[in-house]
Amino acid sequence: MMRDEPPNLIDIECDDYHAKHVGRTANGMQFFLTTPFEPALKDAGAEFIALYLFDSAGKLIEARIDELGPRKTLDEAMARQLYDRRLAELGNVEFCRIRVAPFSINRFGSEFGLVLRDPDDDDDPWAVEAQPGNYMAFFEPWDSGEYDT
């Protein structure tokens, strides 16, 4: 069986859930502000705020990632304030669909990004997963802007 090809770019449609804060800055950069997490499986887990900045062609140019600690000790007011500050750092923005390249970076001992996942076998599709936490998964068609949770 012929496997599909991994994507060079994926679309993310602005919505009222995990993709609430995606769009473009006044200078044309694309951005994705999100809240990845390490599940509390073997240890206490961890919560994060991640602001990913991309150039107009969709290439990652900067990742601003803040570690907030375990969910059970999370100061929600402080986390909200930090999230709002990250959003304000962008200045005037337009919330809209973005088209960005998959990427992976390591911070705080975890893999972050829109991580490309190779199929386990020929019958599985390629996927792009928001990591850590795998809370958004993108599949073909890559330009749909839709994701699974």
In the chain, domain spans? 10-138
**Is 148:15 a contact under the CB 8 Å cutoff?**
no
Residue 118, both tokens: 């190779």
**Is 109:96 a contact under the CB 8 Å cutoff?**
no
Q: What is the pLDDT along the chain (149 residues), one digit of tens a residue?
A: 345 789 999 999 999 999 999 999 999 999 999 999 998 876 788 999 999 999 999 999 999 999 999 989 999 999 999 999 999 999 999 999 999 999 999 999 999 999 999 888 767 889 999 999 999 999 999 999 999 99
**Is 49:66 a contact under the CB 8 Å cutoff?**
yes
pLDDT of residue 1: 38
Residue 109, both tokens: 């001992």
Q: Which residue has the tokens 């006044």?
A: 26
Sequential DSSP letters for 75-94 = -HHHHHHHHHHHHHTT-SEE
Q: How many CB atoms lie within 10 A of CB 123?
A: 8
- The structure's pTM equals 0.93
First to last CA, the chain: 27
d(CA 34, CA 50): 5
